[in-house]
Amino acid sequence: MLFDQSRHEPLTKCLWDDAFVEAEILTIIDDIERSLLPESCWPTHPLDAESYPNAGPKWSAYAGAAGTIHVLQILSRYGYRVTDLSDILETVYQSFLKSPDVSVEPGLQIGELGILMPAMLAQSNNEVLSRRVIRCMEATLELPLYEITSGQSGMMHGALALYRKTGENHWKELYVKGAKTLLDNWKLDTNTGEWLWQSQVFGPKRHYYGACHGLTGNANILLQGVDLLPNDPRAMILKRTISTLNISVEQDDNLANWKLCTKPNIEKLLVQWCHGAAGIVTAMARTPQDDSQYSKLLDRLLQKTGELVWQAGPLVKGANICHGTSGNGYALLYLYRRTGDSMWLERARLFAIHAIEQCQKARLVYGQGRYTLWTGDAGLAIYLYHCLHPKEAAIPGLDLF
C-alpha cells in the first residue's frame, strides 16, 4: 500500500451544494468574530494545545491569532463583510515576544515573520514594520533549515509577495539572497543521483521530499520567482527536481507517493500537504508546462499522485490544510487548474463537503471552533471559497497573501 488506511476515512455520500458551502463560510466568519477574546487572541483548541509546550494563547501564523487575522484580510478582499482586525496585530506581535508559541524565532509559520506579514500587507509603507520584517528575513539566511516553517523558503514566499505588491527592491534582494542560499546548499547524492537539501528543522539532519520541509517546497518558491534570479536557472531547477522525484517515487499501477525523508530514512508514506503526496502536487502543479521530457514526466507523476490523494480519501485528522482534508483537496484543485479536467474540480468539491462535515462534528465534540489558518476552520473557509471559485485557488499564507 502507498498510504496508511488508518489515517483516512470514507468519503461523504453528500453531494456538492453551492449554497451549503457559502453558508459554512459565513458560519466560520461569524464564529471567528464572536469568539475573539479581549487578549486579542482566540480560544486555543484542545488539539492545538496538545502540539505546543506553551499552554497559553497562540499567536503565530500557523496555529494562532496572526493566521486568523490574515484569513479575515483575504476574505475581505474576496468581498465578505468581515471585521478588519489588522490594528490588533501589534498587540499580537508584542504578546508573542513575551510568551511565544514555541520559541522566539524569525520564521514564517511559527515565528515573528508570520505575524508581521499580515501587518506589513496592511501597511506596506510602515518603516518600523519594514525594518522588523527585513531583520526577520535576514535572520533566516544562515539557518541550517532550507524549508518553509522557519527557514529560507518560507521567508522567500513573504519577500516575493511583498516585492510583487510594492515593487520595492529590498524585497527582491531578500528573495534573491534566499534563493542563493538554497541553490548553494542543494547537494547531489552521488549514490542515488538525487538532488536534496539537508534540513535540521526537527533536530536530526534529514533530506525531505515534501512541500513543507523539503525538495518540492523549495523548488516551488525558486520557480515562482525565477524571473528575478541571475542566469535563468529554471531548466536546472526543473531537471534536478523532477529527476529526483522520478528516482525516489514509489509507484503501484496508476498511483504514486514518496516516503517522508531519507538519511536517516523514515519510510512513512503520508498523504498530506505537509508530508507526502498532496503537498508534492500543490508544490509542483504550478510548474510551467512545455514539450520537454521533464515536463511530460512531471505531468505523469502528478496524475498518479493526484489519483493517490483521491483514492486515499479524507484524512482522519480533520478538515485543516496542513495535515487534513482541505490540504488534500487543494491538491485536487491545483490539478484542475493545471489540466482543466473537471474531474479534479468535482473531486475537490466532494472533499470540501466532507471537510465541512468534519468541521461541524468537531464543533459539537469540542464545544468550540478551531480558530487557525493552517490547522483549523479559518483555513477551511479559504479552501471552501476556492472550491466555489477554482480559478483563484492558492494556499493561503504561502501561495496567497
- Which residue ranges make up the annotated binding site for Zn(2+)? 274, 322-323
What are phi and psi for residue 156, nearest 5 degrees?
-65, -35
Residue closest to 386 by CA, chosen among 327, 313, 341, 308: 327
Using CA atoms, how far apart are residues 152 and 168, in angstroms rounded to an integer?
20
Spell out the residues 6+ positions from residue 167 whose beta carbon is closer than 8 angstroms to its own.
none
Burial class (CB in 10 A: 0-12, 13-18, 19+), 266: middle
Place of cell 468541521: 359
Q: Pick the closest to residue 146 from 214, 233, 244, 225 (CA basis).
A: 214
**Cell 479559518 appears where?**
378
- From CA 329, how far away is CA 353, in angstroms rounded? 10
Instruction: Please give the radius of gyration of the chain, using alpha carbons only, rounded to the nearest integer.
Output: 20
Peptide bond into 314 cis (omega under 30): no
Burial class (CB in 10 A: 0-12, 13-18, 19+), 11: middle
Q: What are the grid coordinates assigned to 274, written together?
A: 505537509
Torsion sign (Cα): 31, 34, 36, 42: negative
- Rounded-to-integer distance, Cα 27 and Cα 290, Å: 43
For 229-324, where are the alpha helices, taking DSSP H only?
Answer: 234-248, 277-284, 293-312
C-alpha grid cell, residue 206:
534529514
Residue numbers belonging to the annotated binding site: 274, 322-323
Query: Pairing state of beta strands 195-196 and 207-208?
Result: unpaired
